[in-house]
Amino acid sequence: MAIKTIIEPFKIKMVEPITMSTELERIDFLKKAHHNTFLLDSDQVIIDFLTDSGTSAMSASQWAGIIDGDESYAGSRSWKRMEKTVRELTGMNYVLPTHQGRAAERIIYSLLGGKGKTFISNTHFDTTRANIEFSGSNAIDIPIEEGKHPKLIHPFKGNMDVKKLEELILKYGSENIGAVILTITNNSGGGQPVSMQNAREVGEICHKYGVLYLQDMCRIAENSYFVKQREKAYENISYKAIAQEMMSFADGAVMSAKKDALVNMGGFLSLKDEKLANECKNLLIITEGFTTYGGLSGRDMEAIAIGLEEVFDADYLHYRIRSTAYLGNKLSEMGIPLMLPIGGHAVYIDAKEMYPHIPVDQYPGQTLAAELYLVGGIRSVEIGSVMFGKYDENKKLIPAEMELVRLAIPRRVYTQSHIEYVIEVFAEVQKRVKNSKGFKITYEPEFLRHFTAHFEPLK
Ligand SMILES: *Cc1c(COP(=O)(O)O)cnc(C)c1O
């Protein structure tokens, strides 16, 4: 068929104005923000690709649910609806509502963790690793080899290396493994999907050795899209049924509802085991709230329940994944070096390759982030040596493995013309590559420096 444009499968009922600006104004804004995109005000930004977390546009049904939310302290109707939806999706009987993903992580990992314990994942997301390490445990990442090479094409680069998994369980002893965590999709690994076969095999190994198997299901719907497209046996299975089958292998799941539940705040923990669930509920009550609301308002729970249904809509998922790929493929055709294949929620640009004349200790990723902002008001985030770099004893930079810039796409927020605009901005940024300069850091805090560091452009 000649008609190939994938249109947004929604109409716009309510609009949020974008504050437009000129390049001259942005030069000033960026200078005042010390050349750090995190320090910009949101109304100084035209297209905000900082994160896909909590930035989704809710639907008319979700907003209606917000009004309809039951704010009762105990036994809220909205809680019942959320609990039923999560139970049906995960097949797990015990559901604990939390204010966001990391609250669920803190509860479960502080219980399972502690000194001497080891956790194994395809790749631990930052908050996952932080909660595990904070408990005194050790976190080991074992993505498959293909997942470590940005240019290599593989259908499921988010998979866990199951051979290594078994070796590690034998090496540390099953009694010392806190849990095995499969992150679906693999966020830190570029939003790359995990196959059904891999999710099943991880379960078989965990259960052979009696190790707890958890899934981080933040982007389970986006992952289901890739399974249906790329795993032959699932081409005729619905997205929701794929997600249900994948989760059936696990003993528990954590979710940040700020991703695939299409809401701005929320999360949960779900478990099969009653005893473990009861221990978690004790912690939930101490730090989050009573078991029928956790850290959430009734209206939040109503919106999560609705979002978890909407996200499996075939037209939505098709639009979501294909529009991310559309941006990635266009940039790739223009010769912008990318991490391939394009993942579900973001496009990652290889800034080291794009700016070969800028050494890593002058932060080429920061250059691209600044250029995108100056030329088009696009906010992105550096994921390279600003974020992960360390210093040796001579204060010399130990660079990150890659110098990436991430364009994370909020769900249902931008239209095709916004994306076309972004592509044109890239063409302009590309023309300026030779004259673009690196940066030096003039101020940095001790931890998580990327959030608040100050930069100065080099001459
Ligand atoms: C966002 C995220 C989390 C943490 O969730 P928050 O809601 O931000 O606390 C955990 N795991 C993954 C894979 C995520 O993407």
Is 328 a member of any domain?
yes
Q: In angstroms, what is the span from residue 427 Cα to ligand 1's centroid?
A: 32
Q: Say how far apart CA 151 and CA 350 lie, in whole Å.
A: 10
> What pLDDT shows up at residue 445?
85
> What pLDDT shows up at residue 388?
85
If one residue of 128, 215, 217, 256 were mutated to test the ligand 1 pocket, choosing by the most ligand atoms within 8 A of its CB, it would be 256
Is 425 a member of any domain?
yes
Q: In angstroms, what is the span from residue 292 Cα to ligand 1's centroid?
A: 22
pLDDT in tens, 313-324: 999 999 999 999
Distances (CA, A) of 132 to 68, 187, 430: 37, 17, 41
Q: In angstroms, what is the span from residue 102 Cα to ligand 1's centroid?
A: 6
Q: How many domains does the chain have?
A: 2
> What pLDDT shows up at residue 281?
98
User: Of the candidates 380, 127, 130, which has an alpha carbon nearest to the alpha carbon of residue 258?
Assistant: 127
Is 366 a member of any domain?
yes
Which amino acid is it at 53? S
Task: List the CATH number of the domain containing 121.
Answer: 3.40.640.10
pLDDT in tens, 74-113: 999 999 999 999 999 999 999 999 999 999 999 999 999 9
* Same structural domain, 171 and 143: yes
Per-position DSSP letters for 46-61, written without gaps between them: SEE-S-SSS-PPPPHH
Distances (CA, A) of 2 to 5, 6, 15: 9, 12, 32
Q: What is the mean pLDDT of residues 290-301?
A: 96
Looking at the predicted structure, is the pLDDT value of residue 190 above 90? no
Is 6 a member of any domain?
no
Q: What is the mean pLDDT of residues 197-204?
A: 98
Q: What is the mean pLDDT of residues 237-255?
A: 98
* Same structural domain, 125 and 246: yes
Q: Given the CA of residue 53, which atom of ligand 1 is nearest to it?
A: 1
Q: What is the mean pLDDT of residues 145-169?
A: 94
pLDDT in tens, 345-380: 999 999 999 999 999 999 999 999 999 999 999 999
> What pLDDT shows up at residue 390?
87
**Does the beta carbon of 121 sit less than 6 angstroms from any atom of ligand 1?**
no
* Same structural domain, 236 and 357: no
Looking at the predicted structure, is the pLDDT value of residue 188 above 80? no
> What pLDDT shows up at residue 56?
97
Q: Mean pLDDT of all residues in the chain?
A: 96
Is 3 a member of any domain?
no
> What pLDDT shows up at residue 28?
98
Range of the domain at 104: 60-310
Tell the residue number behind the tokens 């390049």, with chain if given.
Answer: 23
Q: Say how far apart CA 387 and CA 359 lie, in whole Å.
A: 16
> What pLDDT shows up at residue 235?
97
* Same structural domain, 186 and 268: yes
* Same structural domain, 322 and 210: no
